[in-house]
């Protein structure tokens, strides 16, 4: 979405399930909760018994704040985490899986794309489909 990284870094492939839990926040969240401090290295708690995600994340980056909808729209606080670090038993994971996502797949040759994609999704999250 071309949102600039103001400080720190973005989530990357090294932020796996076995790596320390990290989060990237936007400028609005940084200003609202860390006023005159640099939020890089600070902790942000994602703890709710009902969410299934009882973790504290280290802030590794700050993104510019986007305005949703229109130029006159308001901006919201935003926190991005690596999907690899969200436990499959978490409420967040269920919301992530149920979100409408479109994929573009480029292939070479005669490949049964739909069945191959279903197989991959079933391997990654068997409890959410694959059928």
Is residue 71 one of the residues assigned to a domain? yes
Is residue 108 one of the residues assigned to a domain? no
Is residue 22 one of the residues assigned to a domain? yes
pLDDT digit string, tens, across residues 106-120: 777 777 777 877 787
Give the residues across from 46 on adjacent strands.
55
Q: What angle do CA 7, 8, 9 make, to 5 degrees?
A: 120
Tell me 65's DSSP state: P
Is residue 65 one of the residues assigned to a domain? yes
pLDDT digit string, tens, across residues 64-104: 877 655 555 667 888 888 878 777 777 666 666 665 555 66
The structural domain count of the chain equals 1
Confidence of residue 131 (pLDDT cuts 50, 70, 90): very low
Range of 69's domain? 5-99
Is residue 128 one of the residues assigned to a domain? no
The pLDDT of residue 9 is 96
| DSSP conformation letters of 70-122 | STTSPB---EEE-GGGS-TTSHHHHHHHHS---------SS--HHHHHHHHHH
Is residue 23 one of the residues assigned to a domain? yes
Q: Read off the pTM.
A: 0.65
Is residue 54 one of the residues assigned to a domain? yes
């Amino acid at each position: 979405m071309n949102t600039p990284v103001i400080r720190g870094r973005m989530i990357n492939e090294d932020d796996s399930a076995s790596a320390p839990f990290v989060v990237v926040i936007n400028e609005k969240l940084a200003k609202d909760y860390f006023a005159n401090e640099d939020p890089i290295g600070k902790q942000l708690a994602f703890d709710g018994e009902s969410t299934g995600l009882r973790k504290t994340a280290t802030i590794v980056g700050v993104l510019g704040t986007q305005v949703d909808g229109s130029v006159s729209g308001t901006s919201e606080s935003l926190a991005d985490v690596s999907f690899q670090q969200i436990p499959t038993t978490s409420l967040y994971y269920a919301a992530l899986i149920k979100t409408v996502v479109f994929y573009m797949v480029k292939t070479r040759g005669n490949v049964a794309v739909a069945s191959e994609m279903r197989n991959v999704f079933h391997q990654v999250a068997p409890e959410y489909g694959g059928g």
